Chain A
């Protein structure tokens, strides 16, 4: 039996129509008739709830959360530690503006901190909810961005290579 909270969740899901398009909704409705899918879907909902509980506890200091993560998910712990090291050395997300851009581009909750240094706790807590694979990709992307991605020498190489390829074609 659906209660008020479940109706509110369904209503929030319906609001995602614009983002994902009607085709995705129709396809999901079709999948909901399959018992195997229902089983998987239920498992996803349960694990999301577990992750959610973990991030609700974000008020707990990182110093207490990280050792717990190290025991439960050592791979994720390793990635998050690298993320923190890169962040502290300012090799990634060098300003609060970069932090805000990063959360907007990665579907993470908005950062309420007023300074970059204060944002780390909320940032790391929101990363707990991602899989190790997602985290790895995000960190690799950030490190790549941190290097001078648009230096003149890089463009010069691309343009010269491109022109020599096209002159060979002629």
Chain B
């Protein structure tokens, strides 16, 4: 069965989508993993879809072919007056085969689109739709990575209902670290509202670090204390800031294949992926 992990932080700009795409590449490409990875884009900003598909493919394969997206999952039972009642969505129909590698690793994607934002307007009873759709697909994958939007919504609940773990990327700065108590509150509310254990916090990972500014050192100390308070694991490895990571999104390639990316940076990202893999057992 696939290990299902959501990348969550109630703060934007901490690198959730970037890490989702980079981890997907690491798990699928590297020979010692060669995992079958499914990426689910739950963010209406559809950044991870942009990263993995690029503009031309997104336009031709998703928009022009009217391919199902996460929006279709949440709106599959919406009845439009004057149209026949909607048929339930077939799980396989929402999968886009994004990448396949020689030694068996692959990346499939359930893409997102801007209109997903409209699903928040009428969220009732929609939170179970994602986990119901994913359940029969699980046997086809080793890892399922879910990229969550920064604001708490029906999508966050849907991600919790689908996941075994949450991974929390944090930028070592004051506002970013405030996302941690918000996450704790969100998990507690989930447990109380749904009478169900929330997904386990796999860990908190520092992203975009530089180990330079005093503010960063202070924020790291505070995050470390917050993690200890909640019994969350703070990952030993961290992802330092690198211009190549931004470039890899533009080039639509994993960091290790991005032009002029430094070996040291590639190794650091790999070390984080390896630590995550160890925690979730892949």
Contact = CB atoms under 8 A, between A and B. Distances in A.
Interface in A122-170: 144-145, 147, 149-151, 154-155, 158-159, 161-163, 166
B41 to A, nearest CB: 15
B259 A97 contact: yes
Nearest to B115: A166
A67 interface: no
A130 B103 CA distance: 18
Contacts of B252: 145, 149-150
B114 A18 contact: no
B55 to A, nearest CB: 4
A100 B256 CA distance: 10
Task: Please report whether the interface of chain B is mostly helix, strand, loop or mixed according to DSSP.
Answer: helix
B58 interface: yes
A47 to B, nearest CB: 21
Contacts of B257: 97-98, 100-101
B29 A159 contact: no
A95 B256 CA distance: 12
B100 interface: yes
Nearest to A98: B257
B250 A150 contact: yes
Contacts of B113: 162
B56 interface: yes
Contacts of A166: 114-115, 118
Interface stretch (A49-57, A68-76, A81-89, A102-110): A102-110
A94 interface: yes
A19 interface: yes
A94 B115 CA distance: 36
Contacts of B104: 18-19
Contacts of A97: 253, 256-259, 261
Nearest to B71: A166
Contact of B101 (A98, A104, A151): A104
Chain A interface bracket (under 10, 10 to 19, 20 to 34, 35 or more): 20 to 34
A127 to B, nearest CB: 15
Contact of A103 (B59, B102, B258): B102
B115 A105 contact: no
Contact of B114 (A106, A149, A154, A162): A162
A94 B250 CA distance: 15
B259 A95 contact: yes
Interface in B105-144: 113-115, 118
B75 to A, nearest CB: 12
B259 A150 contact: no
Interface in B53-93: 54-59, 63
A104 B118 CA distance: 39
B50 A150 contact: yes
Contact of B55 (A98, A100, A155, A163): A155
A95 B55 CA distance: 22
A108 B253 contact: no
Contacts of B274: none
Interface centre among A98, A149, A154, A166 (most CB of B within 10 A): A149
B237 interface: no
Contacts of A100: 257
Interface centre among A147, A154, A158 (most CB of B within 10 A): A158
A161 B103 CA distance: 38
B29 A104 contact: yes
Nearest to A153: B55
B99 interface: yes
Given A95-B259, A150-B250, 9 more contacts: A97-B256, A98-B259, A105-B100, A150-B50, A150-B54, A151-B55, A154-B56, A161-B63, A163-B114
21 contacts: A94-B259, A97-B257, A98-B259, A101-B257, A104-B29, A104-B101, A144-B56, A145-B252, A150-B50, A150-B54, A150-B55, A150-B249, A150-B252, A155-B50, A158-B59, A158-B63, A159-B114, A161-B63, A162-B114, A162-B115, A166-B118
Interface of A: 18-19, 94-95, 97-98, 100-101, 103-108, 144-145, 147, 149-151, 154-155, 158-159, 161-163, 166
